[in-house]
Amino acid sequence: MMPELLFIYGTLHPERAPAAIAPTAQRLRPFGKATIFGWRFELGEYPGVVLSDNSADAGEQVRGELYFLPEGAEGSEVLTRLDAYEDFRPGDPSGSLFVRQRTRATLEDGTQRECWVYTYNQRL
């Protein structure tokens, strides 16, 4: 089984994460620079992304980085903490500030990898 990947485009980056989430973000391991299709919005203290349908016709390339999540129970714990920080409530997605979604990221060499990404879930 392949390790889980997380696409990071903003404040979850291990080198610039706020103190409240930094110890968790620092448990992520770098995989490589990548892009996803969508729209990035600056929302004051943090950015948000809304995904497109992953085609060049819709959206733009959002630049970010892929990170490995720890494996097993440690990875689940990291995702639980990141979900809480991003105000993603799996039992109440419509009430969540961000939702964690699956998408495909394209690496610099053109290969694609499935990954998680936190997308903005409120009106813009």
Q: Does pLDDT of 100 surpass 90?
A: yes
Whole-prediction pTM value? 0.93
Q: What is the CATH number for 38?
A: 3.10.490.10
Q: Give the residue from 115, 38, 46, 52 showing the smallest Cα distance to 86.
A: 46
Q: Are 88 and 66 in contact (CB under 8 A)?
A: no
Can you give the pLDDT at residue 124?
82
Q: Give the residue from 48, 28, 46 showing the smallest Cα distance to 38.
A: 48
Structural domain count, the chain = 1
- Average per-residue pLDDT for the chain: 93
**14, amino acid identity:** P
pLDDT digits (tens, 9 = 90+) for 21-71: 999 999 999 999 999 999 999 999 999 999 986 555 667 899 999 999 999
Bridge-partner residues for 63, per DSSP?
Answer: 35
Whose structure tokens read 């999540």? Answer: 69
